[in-house]
Amino acid sequence: MRILHTSDWHLGRAIRRQSRQPEFERVLADVVRIAREERVDVVLIAGDVYDSFAPPADAEKLAYETIGEIVRDGAQVVMIAGNHDSSSHMDAIAGLLRMVGVHCAGVAHTDPAQAVISVPSRDGSETAAIATLPWVPERRALQFETLFEGGEGVRTEYRKVLEAIIRQRIAALPNDAVRIFLGHILIDGSEIGPGGGERKLHIGHTFAVDASCFPDTASYVALGHVHKLQRLSAASPTFYSGSLLRLDFGEGGQTKYVNIVDVKANRPADPRAVEVTGGRGLRTISVDFDDLPSHAGKYGDDYLRVVVRAGRPVPALYEQVLQVLPHALDVTLERTDEPVAQPGGSTRGLSPQELLARYYQQKHNADMPEEMVALFNELYEAEAGHAPA
């Protein structure tokens, strides 16, 4: 059986208010091409299809058109909700999509058997049994009393609950099928680039599980949530496929991929990464203001984060940079005639989580407690779910 593993599309995402829609269209067209040329039997989408609970209409349209093309080419699709997706909305449309060969899992089932989706190969010779685990928020995994107590106990309890769920789901897979686990979770020890696009609560691996919970009885473990392709140290072949676009400047040096996985029942998978093209580069550059004209035309269509060094105030700096570097999205002045800036610096481009962490550090001269970060993220995610598109 041949599987295409992808995740973290984040459709609807912008960068510094610049739409990425044309890039999303190109990279998803490339995914469709790869699936067609490789004649995959099933495409696994490991969560974060969208960037928000209420994605814009053009993002939803692109998702359904892409999935429709994959299905018309003869493959089936299994997708789960990530922490950026509306799990209830995904469940609401699951029955309709199932009629055309698309299987959805929004809210995680409590019964492991109900979490298993079976998909036959194109020729009917094999079946993939796929244990699904969409994103499980802390409030669903733990009792209120445990969350209220906070501290290390919350993190330990969350880890224990999630690891038990994972083991139960894999144990529920039939022995005569290709045994796949599909989940949107954070694994301790996974590599997250500084300044990357992952939601900040999980940057510090606050609520992470250990890869040792994946037994060698799984043929392949397909994960989403981390934006860099990587294999994890586990008894079974365990991979994050990564995002399809460089979603923020911290991901600027990453090449983006999908995993093509050849696998048979009772055998470990043979995965290989296939590069996905169509996304624009993200690049951070430092320039001396007096040398700015010499940088014209150097960086193609890459989006730029520009640090301009100058020994004097520069009026209308952003406008002057744009005249030379029209793809500059973020411009910062670094004064060479002044002492090093006080802690804090520019807040431009920071996420709400980063802004809160910086404020707490300045106010209390300490890192914000992880349970407070978790509470803020829960409130932020809930509010985002009610925000207009």
* Residue-by-residue DSSP string for 92-148: HHHHHHHTTTEEEE-SPPSSGGGGEEEEE-TTSS-EEEEEEE----HHHHS-HHHHH
Same domain, 43 and 127: yes
User: For residue 342, what pLDDT is reported?
Assistant: 52
Tokens at 212, concatenated: 């040792």
**Could you list the residue range(s) of the whole structural domain that residue 295 is in?**
282-384
Q: Are 127 and 119 in contact (CB under 8 A)?
A: yes
With respect to residue 374, please indicate whether it lies within any of the assigned structural domains.
Answer: yes
Same domain, 92 and 232: yes
Same domain, 126 and 148: yes
CATH code, 9: 3.60.21.10
With respect to residue 24, please indicate whether it lies within any of the assigned structural domains.
Answer: yes
With respect to residue 147, please indicate whether it lies within any of the assigned structural domains.
Answer: yes
With respect to residue 111, please indicate whether it lies within any of the assigned structural domains.
Answer: yes
Residue 79 dihedral angles phi and psi, to the nearest 5°: -135, 150
User: For residue 7, what pLDDT is reported?
Assistant: 98
Same domain, 122 and 172: yes
- Quick one: CA torsion of 35, 38, 44, 49, rounded to 10 degrees? -30
What is the number of structural domains in the chain? Answer: 2
**What are 194-250's pLDDT values in tens digits?**
555 554 434 444 678 999 999 999 999 999 999 999 999 999 999 999 999 999 999
Neighbouring-strand partners of residue 295:
none
Tokens 């998702």 belong to: 63
User: For residue 146, what pLDDT is reported?
Assistant: 55
Same domain, 147 and 14: yes
pTM of the predicted protein model: 0.84
User: For residue 265, what pLDDT is reported?
Assistant: 94
User: For residue 204, what pLDDT is reported?
Assistant: 42
Listed residue (182, 185, 184, 191) closest to 219, CA to CA: 182
With respect to residue 389, please indicate whether it lies within any of the assigned structural domains.
Answer: no
With respect to residue 163, please indicate whether it lies within any of the assigned structural domains.
Answer: yes
User: For residue 349, what pLDDT is reported?
Assistant: 55
Over the chain, what is the mean pLDDT? 89
Tokens at 59, concatenated: 């993002």
Same domain, 223 and 119: yes
What pLDDT tens digit does each residue of the chain (389 aa) get? 999 999 999 999 999 999 999 999 999 999 999 999 999 999 999 999 999 999 999 999 999 999 999 999 999 999 999 999 999 999 999 999 999 999 999 999 999 999 999 999 999 999 999 999 999 987 766 654 454 455 556 778 888 999 999 999 999 999 999 999 999 999 998 988 655 555 443 444 467 899 999 999 999 999 999 999 999 999 999 999 999 999 999 999 899 999 999 999 988 899 999 999 999 999 999 999 999 999 999 999 999 999 999 999 999 999 999 999 999 999 999 999 876 545 555 665 567 777 888 888 777 767 777 667 767 876 766 565 444 43
User: For residue 360, what pLDDT is reported?
Assistant: 80
Q: Are 35 and 27 in contact (CB under 8 A)?
A: no
User: For residue 354, what pLDDT is reported?
Assistant: 76
Same domain, 153 and 252: yes
**What are 273-316's pLDDT values in tens digits?**
999 999 999 999 999 999 999 999 999 999 999 999 999 999 99
DSSP 3-state of 239: strand
End-of-domain residue from the set 240, 275, 310: 275
Strand arrangement of the beta sheet that strand 76-80 belongs to: 102-105, 76-80, 42-45, 2-6, 257-262, 270-275
With respect to residue 97, please indicate whether it lies within any of the assigned structural domains.
Answer: yes
Same domain, 235 and 379: no
End-of-domain residue from the set 224, 257, 275: 275
Same domain, 149 and 248: yes
With respect to residue 329, please indicate whether it lies within any of the assigned structural domains.
Answer: yes
Q: Are 70 and 32 in contact (CB under 8 A)?
A: yes
Same domain, 257 and 290: no
* Residues in CB range of 328: below 8 A, 6 or more apart: 303, 304, 305, 306, 318, 321, 322
Same domain, 243 and 317: no
Same domain, 182 and 105: yes
Phi-psi region of 73 (alpha: psi -120 to 50; beta: other; left: phi over 0): alpha
Q: Are 7 and 258 in contact (CB under 8 A)?
A: no
List, in sequence order, the alpha helices (H) in the chain.
21-38, 57-72, 87-98, 138-141, 144-149, 152-171, 317-324, 352-364, 370-384
Rg (CA), the chain: 22
End-of-domain residue from the set 275, 300, 333: 275
Q: Tell me how far CA of residue 105 lies from CA of 61, 182, 206, 316, 362, in angstroms.
A: 19, 10, 25, 50, 42
